[in-house]
Structure 1
Amino acid sequence: MTELPSFLSEPSPVFPSDPHKDAQTEQAFQRWAVKIEYDGTGLVGWQKQSVGTSVQGLLEAAATRMANGRRVSSITAGRTDAGVHALGQVAHLDFPADMNLAPHIVRDGLSYHLKPHPVAVLQAALVTEKWSARFSATWRSYLYRIINRPSPAALGATHMWHVRARLNLDRMRQGADRLVGTHDFTSFRAAACQARNPVRTLDSLTVERVGEEVHIRTRARSFLHHQVRNMVGTLILVGRERWAPERITAALEARSRTAGGPTAPAEGLYLTGVGYNPDPFADPPTSY
């Protein structure tokens, strides 16, 4: 019997493990942040539902197709309601680690598989596994569009709220100023809101006329369920001179949903942006 060479017969030496290599082996995914635009008309909102088409469901289905059937999950910066639109929604997707991806591949691949639905990926960026579209966000911004004229919109009717009566923007601005800052927004959140704390800090709330439209813009670290739509509905009462601006302060102090104004329709609301520090989308979008 032929004797094996010593280097084959001896047990293999044991080397200390490389912690960096172990971490790479354990991480079975690569996380991508994506900036998304969508028309919420006819959709049930961001979150997957048992019935209806959701943005989350469409995005995850598109990502799963890119991954050849391997399921890809997502987390969003903020869930939007049925009928609400987005110009700069952000989510993150966990693709399999072995996929050969680049920003333009993720952007174009997802957008291709999202057809024919009115959802498009504007930018994509590789982020660390600890980065979260939701928890890493430092602010969120919204726009509410109102067409303020006697005639309704023949074009874009599902993208703005029609208010016939001429609105007094000076009074609306006075009312908006009373909402800026840190307050208990119980009077301006949905009865079904699940947030444990109703206190929020509103960084800005502006009202401006743009042609025949009135635009209401707001920004905060986070918002309560229906908070923006309830603030808009209340400001409309002030603009129509049914409420004095001072009544908004009284509504805040009442800490009761019944003290606030009505909920504005979903179709006028747009999620316009989400902020991060550092911003994963800071580099200009890749054209090709």
Structure 2
Amino acid sequence: MPRTAKVAPRVSVDDAKSASANYHAHALTRGLALLELLADGPQPLTLIDFHARTGLPKSTLVRLLSVLTDAEYVVRVDERPAFRLGHKVLRLSTAYVSSLDLTVAAGPYLRQLAVASGYTANLGLLDGSQVLHVCVEEPPRPIRFMAYTGSRDDTYCTALGKALMAALPASALPAHLPAAEPYSRRTDSTITTHDEMRRELARTARRGYAYDDNEGSVGVRCLAVPVVVDGETVAAVSVSGPAAELSPDRHEPFVDQLHASAAKLAADVDVVAALRIVHRSLLPTRGGTNTP
């Protein structure tokens, strides 16, 4: 006797909701779930699509979609019927975006890192051949590396720059490095050629973190790791401090702290949204754009 394929049971949109929710809260939760389905795309979705994805009765869906349509959060586009998002959703998303402040969103994670490590914590983005410091927190100690939110530094002599460039294809690197060789030598340890930098970025990618060994300033060392969201590097986070305290044999605990902080930043939807907004505000590079 032929075996029939097992069909996974349909999960109702109500299954994850509290049974104690009152009627109006229940209806609101269901309506928001329909908006989330439309936001996940592709649009438009038909009544049959909503029924298949939520498990809600069609009569309930008709009532919910009617309310959302009357309120202009949803637009009916044909007689199937099918629906897409309405203009009121844009008003909400615009208000959300305008309320985001990257220093407020990312600051607590950077402060935690600065206190735990004892070093200056820095969140950076690529901006052409420079790194833009979008959030900086200093540790509570008298001797510390000084940096400022909104300041910039060269990519080629910073751990942040290396961590960000190590994720790029080779064809994209010229847009983020000095146009002419040798690069300006900041210290005796500064990397000054394309070939040397490519080798350094390969080492960075293999070990999973970047290292600035007195390359930007004598007496200062820095470690950095990428902040990765859905396989894409959207920023990098670093700690910087006295060279004597960040020797290679002492890297492991600080790299662990950096990876933990990067994971927290990547998991915070407000931080990621704010980072993408800042990316879009940056000028195009010589070889393309900075938008992730």
> Could you say which TM-score interval applies, normalised by the shorter chain?
under 0.3
- TM-score normalised to structure 1 length: 0.25
- TM-score normalised to structure 2 length: 0.25
Higher relative contact order, structure no. (Cα contacts within 8 Å, ≥ 6 residues apart): 1
Counting helix residues as a fraction of each chain, which structure ranks higher? 2
Counting strand residues as a fraction of each chain, which structure ranks higher? 1
